[in-house]
A and B are shown apart, each in its own frame.
Chain A
């Protein structure tokens, strides 16, 4: 698709459903559709309006966050919420209601979206905001692209005076030190922790707590340079093994020799360390990687996190760049939004079907037992019963789903399996026209 008017004409004569996708950076299958038709939105990337007084930016849904930053930073504005990569589209950020290091103060990406246009497969164009078509507004934020096609959206950017982040890295040992640091950092805008998930014994749950605020000292606001490094080929499957990953984790921990370091750091390495190397995922070889991310509410957050970290360490499976963070209580406008007040942990594993899948399935069950949930944008293994218990509001959501759109994820967790008690939900609703 190249133009706002291309949908629904783009799906004329299409069988097996369709799905709009942007950069396709979701780790799981929310951005895939087996046998169906994918509608690529990345050439719908025009900026439509910007008010330098308020920071309100209106843009087509296929624009990437990298393009928004290139435009906004020289004008003294920044993304209200930054995920771990800037190579995702505005539409994808809304559809997955992504979060960032400032979730505890700013909430999700959807909290900063003021309005958008949603086009349904019957040709209806819905202008959505908290006031207008509020149901579609809520179901589209975090709606995994299933409620219709986003043509444009308006986002409230936030002012900055410098590219620099006032950064501090603090070593911690154990979950309680992590929780103390989290409490102390409540008023710091960005917090996130890297945690070593391979070590046991006295090094169990050691990590580095990283916190930062936008520097308040005015400094030149230039556009970022284009990345120069790229991994030219896929690493062989054995490159990442228990030994290399443990070595990496030990190095990462010990790279910071002191208990606490402070520095002024550019926002690029602070927010998007992996974007510096294009195609970094090739490090995981042809089979690639799977992500696992849960959120467990405060009630069982500590207990659940310790149990899951122990399970991971016990499995001996390699994971690096494990990320631990406390979610705050700013509510998302999204009906299906993932974050919930508590602790979230994101892990990545090279795919080794026999071992990693069994571990994933154990971790998913543990998450459910601790009252938590998994993140659809990073999932490829969640079962239908798990999805329904993580997101009990899914039936309400299904009423706003567009009948022509679906994804491999949706087919997997809802679909219409034979004999399924929920199987006739679509027959009952027939979609909303």
Chain B
């Protein structure tokens, strides 16, 4: 774990104390894990545009610096960064503590790291299949366990986890990736069931195929969803609405684009005796 303390917009003070005048928007303190992923980058732009504070975590420092520079230039009120390989679960507690201290608290955490993996390789190699599960599931379970308890103690915060429509039903074209996301979806469902009553929002975000670096070169990628539109939906869902009691509420499970809720609904009800013969 290497933490870059120099890259803050205002090094002496993290986000200011949270006073907002009447009608003035208080910047949110947002932790982004896997900040160089296509969807995370697009979300960061929207948050930076409106002056939120960001702490960005990613593995590759050159790429992370470019994303951080973009957020700073666009007007993020604070940008902190840490280079970390999130597969290293032992480093999570220190990383999270540092991130939250830098932001001066936490309003939102976006979990956007993950790998698509190589399905055909994973069919023949447990090492390859295990790596996909480790990256997409184990590491998120570790991070969520720490953050869920942090948020539950404070009765605040939104944990937004990027799962995938691929987790709704295993298909031969990507069932290892699908299994990692199915596990993640189940974990997040249960976590929501446990800590929603503590005042912590836990969101499952299920994107369909999106035009990003992850899907470049895939068959039909020209017709995949536009990443900026997907990010706008995600950011809006995370914002939610302020209820009469002052609590923020919003959707628990978000399919983006929304049509995927219908598509996966259909795919889920196909009987196995037919499904097993299909090429999906």
The reply on B74 being an interface residue by CB < 8 A is: yes
Q: Contact at B73–A43, with CB atoms within 8 Å? A: no
Q: A43-B213, A46-B67 are in contact. Are A4 and B62 (CB under 8 A)?
A: yes
Contact partner of A3 (CB less than 8 A), chosen from B66, B69, B216, is: B66
Contacts of B38 in A (CB 8 A): 43
Contact partner of B73 (CB less than 8 A), chosen from A4, A5, A48, is: A48
Q: Contact at B69–A2, with CB atoms within 8 Å? A: no
The A5-54 residues at the B interface (CB cut-off 8 A) are 5, 43, 46-50
The reply on A71 being an interface residue by CB < 8 A is: yes
Complex Cα spacing A177 to B59, Å? 64
The reply on B63 being an interface residue by CB < 8 A is: yes
Contact partner of A48 (CB less than 8 A), chosen from B66, B213, B216, is: B66
The reply on A196 being an interface residue by CB < 8 A is: no
Complex Cα spacing A60 to B69, Å? 11
Q: Contact at A2–B73, with CB atoms within 8 Å? A: no
Q: Contact at A48–B74, with CB atoms within 8 Å? A: no
Contacts of A48 in B (CB 8 A): 66, 69-70, 73
Q: Contact at A46–B213, with CB atoms within 8 Å? A: no
Q: Contact at B69–A46, with CB atoms within 8 Å? A: yes
Closest CB-CB distance, A150 to chain B, in whole Å?
15
Complex Cα spacing A71 to B62, Å? 23
Q: Contact at B73–A3, with CB atoms within 8 Å? A: no
Q: Contact at B62–A46, with CB atoms within 8 Å? A: no
* B251-262 interface code vs A (CB 8 A; 1 in, 0 out): 000000000000
Complex Cα spacing A362 to B199, Å? 76
Q: A43-B213, A47-B74, A71-B74 are in contact. Are A5 and B62 (CB under 8 A)?
A: yes
Complex Cα spacing A43 to B73, Å? 17
Contact partner of B70 (CB less than 8 A), chosen from A3, A5, A46, is: A46
Contacts of B74 in A (CB 8 A): 47, 71
Where chain B touches its partner, the secondary structure class is helix
The B234-265 residues at the A interface (CB cut-off 8 A) are none
Number of interface residues of B (CB under 8 A): 11
Q: Contact at B73–A50, with CB atoms within 8 Å? A: yes
Complex Cα spacing A5 to B63, Å? 8
Contacts of B66 in A (CB 8 A): 3-4, 46, 48, 60
Closest chain A residue, CB of each to CB of B216? A2
Complex Cα spacing A49 to B69, Å? 7
Number of interface residues of A (CB under 8 A): 12
Where chain A touches its partner, the secondary structure class is mixed
Q: Contact at B63–A47, with CB atoms within 8 Å? A: no
Contacts of B70 in A (CB 8 A): 46-48
Complex Cα spacing A60 to B67, Å? 11
Closest chain A residue, CB of each to CB of B66? A46
Complex Cα spacing A4 to B63, Å? 8
Complex Cα spacing A50 to B69, Å? 10
The B61-114 residues at the A interface (CB cut-off 8 A) are 62-63, 66-67, 69-70, 73-74
Closest CB-CB distance, A293 to chain B, in whole Å?
31
Complex Cα spacing A60 to B63, Å? 12
Complex Cα spacing A5 to B67, Å? 13
Complex Cα spacing A43 to B70, Å? 13
Contacts of B62 in A (CB 8 A): 3-5
Contacts of A4 in B (CB 8 A): 62, 66
Complex Cα spacing A388 to B62, Å? 42
Q: A3-B63, A4-B62, A5-B62 are in contact. Are A47 and B213 (CB under 8 A)?
A: no
Closest CB-CB distance, B198 to chain A, in whole Å?
38
Closest CB-CB distance, B262 to chain A, in whole Å?
24
Contacts of B67 in A (CB 8 A): 46
The A41-90 residues at the B interface (CB cut-off 8 A) are 43, 46-50, 60, 71
Complex Cα spacing A47 to B73, Å? 6
Contacts of A71 in B (CB 8 A): 73-74
Closest CB-CB distance, A55 to chain B, in whole Å?
13
Closest chain A residue, CB of each to CB of B72? A49
Closest chain A residue, CB of each to CB of B74? A47
Complex Cα spacing A48 to B63, Å? 12
Closest CB-CB distance, A108 to chain B, in whole Å?
25
Closest chain B residue, CB of each to CB of A60? B66
The B116-153 residues at the A interface (CB cut-off 8 A) are none
Contacts of A50 in B (CB 8 A): 73
Closest CB-CB distance, A1 to chain B, in whole Å?
9
Closest CB-CB distance, A376 to chain B, in whole Å?
28
Closest CB-CB distance, A147 to chain B, in whole Å?
23
Complex Cα spacing A257 to B63, Å? 56
* A163-180 interface code vs B (CB 8 A; 1 in, 0 out): 000000000000000000
Complex Cα spacing A46 to B66, Å? 7
Closest CB-CB distance, B247 to chain A, in whole Å?
32
Contacts of A60 in B (CB 8 A): 66
Closest chain A residue, CB of each to CB of B48? A47
- Other A-B pairs beyond A43-B38, A48-B73, 15, CB < 8 Å: A2-B216, A3-B62, A4-B62, A5-B62, A5-B63, A46-B66, A46-B67, A46-B70, A47-B73, A47-B74, A48-B66, A48-B69, A50-B73, A60-B66, A71-B74
Which 8 A-B pairs have CB atoms at the shortest separation, nearest pair first?
A: A46-B70, A47-B73, A48-B69, A2-B213, A50-B73, A46-B66, A47-B70, A3-B63
Chain A contact residues, CB within 8 Å of chain B = 2-5, 43, 46-50, 60, 71
13 sample A-B contacts, Cβ–Cβ < 8 Å, listed by A number: A2-B213, A3-B62, A3-B66, A4-B62, A4-B66, A46-B67, A46-B69, A46-B70, A47-B73, A48-B66, A48-B70, A49-B69, A71-B73
